[in-house]
Amino acid sequence: MTDPLVWTATIAFIVALFVFDFAVVIRKPHEPSFKESVAWSVFYIAIALAFGAVLHFWHQDFPTTEYLAGYITEKSLSVDNLFVFLVIMTRFAVPPKYRSRVLLVGIAVALILRAVFIAAGAAALDAFAALFYVFGAFLIYTAWGLAKESQEDASQEYEEGRMVRLVRRLYPVTDGYREGKVMVREAGRRMVTPMLLVMVAIGSTDVLFALDSIPAIFGLTQDPFIVFTANAFALLGLRQLYFLVQGLLQRLVYLHYGLAAILAFIGVKLVLHALHENNVPFINGGEPVHVPEISTGLSLTVIVVILAISTVASLIATRRSSDDIEASLDDQRGEALEGDGSDSPAAEAQQGRADARESTATPTARTGDDEQS
């Protein structure tokens, strides 16, 4: 997609959505309810799908399948971001009512930086086709690391990155959030609040995630327009998705396996594409290698199936675990009651003897007890 009018209209539309989101968040800072999060998540997903539908009917040659595959891939990979976002929010003790603002600013910064990465990646792939091999190998390596990662590793203690440490060196930091302000003046000097540190942490962390998500979508399409819009719409709904699934994140125990499988699949697809378009001199004499290529339609199907299997398996596994824990607690309660023997005849006889001793207590003793009470 190279039509300047389409690019201009799309960027203006995305900016308008961000401005609208900012207006909603800033007008009334609060922690969205589950119902509100569902409504906004459905709204942004519908916007993304409607955008694809409009371009499909407006431009007959618009690769709709590539757009859908890219959007679903970016959306699923963004869920992995939420694990780290949750750790960062906890690490900085962000009040719930300010979390929407933190996420929105961090996501806006991330989108700007991703746009730079996308432009650089597209230019590099045009100039050096051999980069498809590099991207493919990198995705397979990343998939292997992600598959070995446990949920505890994903939720490990957050360590501040270089950007956050740089802000700390440049400005003193207040000991509180100062009603959600980013910068304040206290004791005659300008200070930043933890609000700015969290925003920088969210934005810089998301850029690190982009190092695998952007090569992944380039494995599905080489159209920079689709790469950019799929990233933009996936990020736009990320704030609402955080509040929607924050209670379910700990239950998605197999999600990292599903994401690893998707990255490995796309990595293989990239390598096959590179072989099919090969011009590297030391591979087959610089001639294309006749290998099967994976179609975008098949890629979309595989991605959806993998996500469905990993999600359902996670929910079933955690449901069984919670049921086993509850059953174990019930057994322990039952054993405790049996050990206590409060309903046994011997216990009743012992209680009767205690009551008898109390009833025969001397009046003096009773008077002393009453005075003490």
H helices of 171-295, where?
A: 194-218, 224-236, 238-245, 255-276
- Residue 372: the pLDDT is 40
- Residue 358: the pLDDT is 46
- Residue 322: the pLDDT is 53
Q: Apex CA 3: angle with CA 67 and CA 235, to 5°?
A: 40
Using CB atoms within 10 Å of the CB of residue 307, give its burial: 0 to 12 exposed, 13 to 18 middle, 19+ buried.
buried
The first and second tokens of residue 104, run together, are 């929105």
- Rounded CA separation 138/264 (Å): 9
In a structure prediction context, what are the per-residue pLDDT tens digits for the chain, which is 373 residues long?
667 888 899 999 999 988 888 887 666 777 777 788 888 889 999 999 999 998 888 877 788 889 999 999 888 887 777 777 878 888 888 888 888 888 888 888 888 888 888 888 888 887 787 888 888 888 898 888 888 875 555 445 557 778 888 888 888 888 888 887 888 888 888 999 988 888 888 877 777 777 777 888 888 888 899 999 999 998 888 888 888 777 676 777 888 888 889 989 998 998 888 888 787 888 878 888 888 888 888 888 998 999 899 889 988 888 865 555 445 445 544 554 454 444 444 444 445 444 544 444 444 433 444 444 3
The first and second tokens of residue 173, run together, are 């930091």
Model's pTM, two decimal places?
Answer: 0.73
pLDDT in tens, 111-160: 888 888 888 888 888 778 788 888 888 889 888 888 887 555 544 555 77
179 close to 220: Cβ distance less than 8 angstroms = no
- Rounded CA separation 254/314 (Å): 5
**Segments making up each domain of the chain, as ranges:** 4-330
Task: Sort strands 189-192 and 183-186 into parallel, antiparallel or unpaired.
Answer: antiparallel
- Rounded CA separation 365/127 (Å): 100
The total number of residues shown for the chain amounts to 373
Q: Of 245, 311, 248, nearest to 32 (Cα)?
A: 245
- Rounded CA separation 7/231 (Å): 15
Query: Tokens 């929910």 identify what position?
Result: 315
- Residue 35: the pLDDT is 84
